[in-house]
Structure 1
Amino acid sequence: MQTVSNDPVAAPRPAGGFSRRRLLKLLGAGGATVVVAGTGALSYRVYDTAALGPGRGDAYDPWQHWRETPGLLGAVGAAVLAPSPHNTQPWGFGIRADGVDVYVDAARDTGTVDPFHREQHVGIGCALENLVLACRARGLLPTVTLLPDGPAGPRIAEVAVRPGPPAPSPLYDAIGDRHTNRGPFEATAIEPETLNELADRTGADDVEVRWIADPAPRAAMSRLLIDAAAALCDDDQQSRDNFAWFRGTNDDIQRYRDGLTLGGQGFGPLMLAIAKLLPASSRADGDQFWLKQTTTVHTATAAAYGVLTSRTPDDRATQLTAGRLLERIHLAATGRGIALHHMNQVTERIDRERSTGAAPAFGPRFAELLPRGEQPLLTFRVGYPVRAAAPSPRRAAAQVVR
């Protein structure tokens, strides 16, 4: 698959022009400055970025019609709405009369950001959970077999079905409302009982859920996330692999129907509309913006962090199970009005250090926040959102069925 790059080497910024990063700095200082370089150029930017109509078009249709299609194709339509690393959507599905086979699309990865494909398989696990919930709601009783052909086999999972009574659930109902929220959260604590109720660990005996909510460990986790984001930005190859999945124009969003977008960054409506009118940010600007958001928004407003841990984090079945559990947590949070934001830069740096043979810097620090012997699989923050999250683009069910 092709990817697009807005690297400054390929697309130098016009002399004297405003970047999105500079505008965001001005807005953050309390005042919005709008520079209009001519009616024609501005009109093109409005069209090119869909500034006046974000979240529209074929790339967003799956969010509107996911309930409508019956049977197994409809269940796949729910599966594709699951979260995945950088919205890579690394899944494929094979539909047969008595079930669905789930595959990994090996081309849809994030390179050095996920060198052991840990996040890729967690994302497929999230889609698998949506698939199971949607089968039940459509009167198809699912039986899941993970890695039916072995760890190196082509199928990630097999979902066999037989007829039964339709069994919708609150988690199923939340599928269309679940979005990753990268915006600010309110300064309201989440009760420990509420956090514990979010995690249904049925069938996930090898995965634990650890909540980091008390002030001191939460501050340590925040510092760890900020340092990991900075290290990732300073790693040239990780930075490039990270930025390759950014879709800066509406044309790219509608063409690829995947990746990260400005609309998914948690901006308010005014800031989003203005940011879309300005020239595309460079990779360096994007890195600095992410680092600033991590410092001033993401970690600064997190009510708590959740960490899924295991003693066998490299096991594929464990990663798939963790993905299913993560999706149940996210759907349960959505149903309670709680926002969730996936933040995996620490485990990305841990895996990067392992893959290059570098001295471990982040693993030992993370271990201090966890019970002895448990290793982190993934991390996320939760809180009550200041504003609702926007949907991200998705490929339709028909595009991911083999």
Structure 2
Amino acid sequence: MERGSVDNKPVGRRRFLGTAGLTAGSVAVAGAGGLTWRAAQEGVFATGTGPAYAAWDQWDRPGRDMLSLLRAGVLAASAHNTQPWLFRVGRDHIDLYADPRRGMGSMDPLRREMYVSLGCAVENMVLAGPPSGWQPAVTLMPDPARVGHVARIRLSPAPVAHSPLYAAVPKRHTDRGAYDTGRPLGAEVAAGLRGQIGADSGVRLLWLASEKSRNIFGGLTVRATRAIIADPRQAADDFAWYRTGWRQIQSRKDGITIDASGQSPLIRAAAKLLGTSREQNQDGWLRATRDTHVATAAAFGILLVRDRLDAVRRLETGRVWQRMHLWATTRGLAVQPLNQVLERIDREHAAGLPPHFTDAMADLLPTGWHPLLAFRTGRPTAGTLLSPRRPAEDARLT
């Protein structure tokens, strides 16, 4: 899998976040004429435009068209913006399949994040049914012998109806920036998030809002970030999903970009124009995790299930997470998945490593429950930018 590149140097999230050491002066020394040319080449002046972003404008076309469900589905949340979905449209149903080519290797060796991401796509399609005049009925893992066939959504004609969560679909974005530490969250936020959990989903929310619990989970997250950086295999598999080159973004239409990193306009421009070393890259990611993501979180949440290997529970967790994120969007809240600890736990299980993070995390969890997704939330301090998306037609099987 090709990594993103600037001047043919490998890049990734660490390079994005490592640009914090760049200044306006370092940008200026490259020469105004050369910078202008490179800025145009790298899309510095065209943020959020081009074919890689067209799906955000195509999502709500008028008319009773099954493709409208797919157009909402491709705007769902997914780990590292991998978009691991494939769709097949039938006469009265839509089948959803996992795309194994879009796995994250050692970053997701048990396919936990892939199936949670697929559950997010299911939920967006379910929400898109009534506005298009369809009543959806979902069957998860309809054929146990085919583990890649993750859902069938049957559709029957129904009166057109809209919902606040559906209206939030094009407004939902992961916020990787700093949150407002002067505006704590009230108990109604935890209650609202729990209200998105279906009674039969098998999912539970662990809410970490006290200073002690936030410090414990935050500390584990920083430690897990260090561990991923120090693990050559995980580091390489993580790098594979980060994009900076304008042409690469427009052709691949996936992955995490500097525009979605939560950095300031100056740092985003500098990263696109100049790049950074791998060491700066890793130091920057660790610094952002410690000083921004952990330090400014008003609360952390962890979605739990009884059986972490159950594909249906993973898909249900994705459906819950998508509703939670959309609900948070309707309330003006910021959220960001923060899964480094869980990624290390999966790595420990898959590679037979000592269970350092498995044991440490167990001290936070209620007996008999296992984590499938962790996140931070708070009140935003700035707006978020679009991530690239493959259009529905590109993910449709014929």
Q: TM-score, normalised by structure 1?
A: 0.93
Structure 2 residue identity aligned to 1:367: A
Sequence identity of aligned pairs in percent? Answer: 39
Residue in structure 1 matched with residue 135 of structure 2 by the alignment? 141
Measured at CA, do residues 370 and 245 of structure 1 come closer, stay the same or move farther in structure 2, by a change above 3 Å?
same
User: Is the counterpart of residue 93 in structure 1 residue 87 in structure 2?
Assistant: yes
> How big is the shift at 1:254?
0.2
- Pairing of 1:313-328 with structure 2 (within 5 A): 313-328=308-323
CA distance in 2, matches of 1:23, 1:260: 15
CA distance in 1, matches of 2:313, 2:269: 41
Structure 2 residue identity aligned to 1:212: L
Residue in structure 2 matched with residue 4 of structure 1 by the alignment? 3
Residue in structure 2 matched with residue 396 of structure 1 by the alignment? 391
> How big is the shift at 1:32?
5.7
Question: What SS class does the counterpart of residue 243 from structure 2 fall into?
Answer: coil
For structure 2, list consecutive stretches of 5 or more residues without a partner in the other structure. Answer: none
User: Is the counterpart of residue 367 in structure 1 residue 367 in structure 2?
Assistant: no
User: Is the counterpart of residue 220 in structure 1 residue 211 in structure 2?
Assistant: no
Residue in structure 2 matched with residue 61 of structure 1 by the alignment? 54
> How big is the shift at 1:282?
4.3
Contact 1:46-1:52 at 8 Å conserved across structures: yes
RMSD: 2.0
Measured at CA, do residues 344 and 7 of structure 1 come closer, stay the same or move farther in structure 2, by a change above 3 Å?
farther
Deviation track 1:186-229 (CA, whole Å, cap 9, x = no partner) reads 01111122222123112544110111001101111100110001
Measured at CA, do residues 58 and 370 of structure 1 come closer, stay the same or move farther in structure 2, by a change above 3 Å?
same
Deviation track 1:349-396 (CA, whole Å, cap 9, x = no partner) reads 001011111110001111111212211111000000001111100000
CA distance in 1, matches of 2:324, 2:10: 42
For structure 1, list consecutive stretches of 5 or more residues without a partner in the other structure. Answer: 14-18
> How big is the shift at 1:275?
2.9
CA distance in 2, matches of 1:283, 1:184: 23
CA distance in 2, matches of 1:34, 1:6: 19
Measured at CA, do residues 12 and 154 of structure 1 come closer, stay the same or move farther in structure 2, by a change above 3 Å?
closer
Structure 2 residue identity aligned to 1:192: A
User: Is the counterpart of residue 377 in structure 1 residue 372 in structure 2?
Assistant: yes
> How big is the shift at 1:11?
3.1
CA distance in 2, matches of 1:317, 1:122: 10
Residue in structure 1 matched with residue 276 of structure 2 by the alignment? 281
CA distance in 2, matches of 1:255, 1:234: 31
Measured at CA, do residues 79 and 141 of structure 1 come closer, stay the same or move farther in structure 2, by a change above 3 Å?
same
Contact 1:134-1:172 at 8 Å conserved across structures: yes
User: Is the counterpart of residue 124 in structure 1 residue 122 in structure 2?
Assistant: no
CA distance in 1, matches of 2:82, 2:294: 24
Q: TM-score, normalised by structure 2?
A: 0.93
Measured at CA, do residues 153 and 275 of structure 1 come closer, stay the same or move farther in structure 2, by a change above 3 Å?
closer
Contact 1:91-1:105 at 8 Å conserved across structures: yes
User: Is the counterpart of residue 41 in structure 1 residue 34 in structure 2?
Assistant: yes
Measured at CA, do residues 205 and 79 of structure 1 come closer, stay the same or move farther in structure 2, by a change above 3 Å?
closer
CA distance in 2, matches of 1:20, 1:130: 29
Tell me how many residue pairs correspond in the alignment: 391
CA distance in 1, matches of 2:199, 2:136: 14
- The one of 180, 185, 190 equivalent to 1:190 is 185
Residue in structure 2 matched with residue 16 of structure 1 by the alignment? none
Measured at CA, do residues 158 and 203 of structure 1 come closer, stay the same or move farther in structure 2, by a change above 3 Å?
farther
Contact 1:99-1:160 at 8 Å conserved across structures: yes
CA distance in 2, matches of 1:156, 1:283: 37
Measured at CA, do residues 61 and 368 of structure 1 come closer, stay the same or move farther in structure 2, by a change above 3 Å?
same
Measured at CA, do residues 296 and 261 of structure 1 come closer, stay the same or move farther in structure 2, by a change above 3 Å?
same
> How big is the shift at 1:143?
0.5
Measured at CA, do residues 324 and 236 of structure 1 come closer, stay the same or move farther in structure 2, by a change above 3 Å?
same
Structure 1 residue identity aligned to 2:168: A
CA distance in 2, matches of 1:149, 1:263: 40
Measured at CA, do residues 392 and 386 of structure 1 come closer, stay the same or move farther in structure 2, by a change above 3 Å?
same
CA distance in 1, matches of 2:299, 2:367: 21
CA distance in 2, matches of 1:205, 1:53: 42
Deviation track 1:101-129 (CA, whole Å, cap 9, x = no partner) reads 00000000110000010000000000110
Contact 1:7-1:282 at 8 Å conserved across structures: no
Residue in structure 1 matched with residue 305 of structure 2 by the alignment? 310
> How big is the shift at 1:96?
1.2
User: Is the counterpart of residue 242 in structure 1 residue 235 in structure 2?
Assistant: no
Residue in structure 2 matched with residue 159 of structure 1 by the alignment? 153
CA distance in 2, matches of 1:231, 1:123: 24
> How big is the shift at 1:154?
3.9
Contact 2:16-2:281 at 8 Å conserved across structures: no
Structure 2 residue identity aligned to 1:81: L
Question: What SS class does the counterpart of residue 68 from structure 1 fall into?
Answer: coil
> How big is the shift at 1:26?
4.8
Structure with the greater relative contact order (CA < 8 A, sep ≥ 6): 1 or 2? 2
CA distance in 2, matches of 1:396, 1:194: 33
Measured at CA, do residues 401 and 305 of structure 1 come closer, stay the same or move farther in structure 2, by a change above 3 Å?
same
Deviation track 1:55-87 (CA, whole Å, cap 9, x = no partner) reads 111111111221115421011001100111110
Contact 1:181-1:341 at 8 Å conserved across structures: yes
> How big is the shift at 1:39?
4.5
Question: What SS class does the counterpart of residue 321 from structure 1 fall into?
Answer: helix
Residue in structure 1 matched with residue 43 of structure 2 by the alignment? 50
CA distance in 1, matches of 2:391, 2:201: 33
